[in-house]
Chains A and B, each alone.
Chain A
């Protein structure tokens, strides 16, 4: 069993063109390190469809593309490619034909510190999927694209990051990832990955709720969780009094319908039918 795990781990992560040997702290067990371009072709040929490659240099990414044809013919698309140094724009379409998922193609992509990145990428897939390894802030659309340890990317609006009670504002020009992917830093502002995923990913929310064995499943309990999650008080629902909201949350009255339900949903920024998924 242990042997099987080790093989899987080795297949999962390949570090390409590391100029310097990694320090002992940055060296992760079971990872294949290629220190020269000449090793890349051979390593890619041996890799499986589960392999995730981390290319440290643009020259290494080019070498990947030069060998892509042979690799594809050998065993189809490779799982993922993370480019620490952004690839040449004209190489991106070719790379996209070789890898199912990519991260780091945008020049302003921010990554976890290397030691933490390698650790997350070799973690069990279930665990890695709840951690962020890379991110890009797009000032034009005011969105943040965050890549998870399973290489899936989610996009969230800047508006998700409200000013904290201590008055700290998120600074999207200073995006960073820390705490092994558990925390997204926006300048001095820190957001938990868990909170972002809970709000942005219905599947994550469904799984989290499933684990709460003793959790209440009523409309009122969902309303309360969502209201708190959105940072709203009971007095923030316009013509609906705080007393009414409190009674709804305690399930003392029936689930609202029609205009009242729409009014509550609008204030919470979700669709009416979504409330009970929280």
Chain B
């Protein structure tokens, strides 16, 4: 089952979601931020937006950023649980987006 980060109202009704799904493009570890049709992939090793599609925090609601940053360790733990062969902490020089 995909991990879905709980957001405070009104973010879900505005269309914001953060997920780690059961089958992701695996490198590097990341969470996917959704706003309706748009998505961003945020790298969990480096905290930057993965290309493609790229992007920046300027495009994202500040409340989403705040919630993601407050739950960073939880997101890393959930990724490690789903993808034990490609853990966030597996530092090998390839982690940056």
A residues adjacent to B (C-beta < 8 A): 116, 119-120, 123, 127, 131, 160-162, 164-166, 168, 170, 179-183, 188-192, 194-196, 198, 207-208, 211-213, 216, 221, 224-225, 228-229, 231-233, 250
Contacts and interface: CB of A to CB of B under 8 A. Distances in A.
The 7 closest A-B pairs by CB, nearest first: A191-B23, A164-B22, A190-B2, A190-B21, A180-B37, A195-B25, A165-B82
Given A166-B22, A182-B39, A228-B86, 20 more contacts: A116-B37, A127-B37, A164-B82, A165-B81, A165-B83, A165-B85, A179-B19, A180-B34, A189-B23, A190-B19, A190-B23, A191-B21, A192-B21, A195-B24, A211-B51, A211-B52, A212-B51, A212-B52, A231-B83, A231-B85
Given A191-B21, A194-B25, A195-B25, A119 B36 contact: yes
Contacts of A165: 81-85
B85 A182 contact: no
Given A165-B82, A211-B51, A221-B94, A191 B22 contact: yes
Interface of B: 1-2, 17, 19, 21-27, 32, 34, 36-37, 39, 41, 51-52, 54, 81-86, 93-94
* Prevailing SS type, chain B contact patch: loop
Nearest to B15: A180
Contacts of A211: 51-52, 54
Contacts of B86: 228
B22 A179 contact: no
Contact of A190 (B22, B25, B54, B94): B22
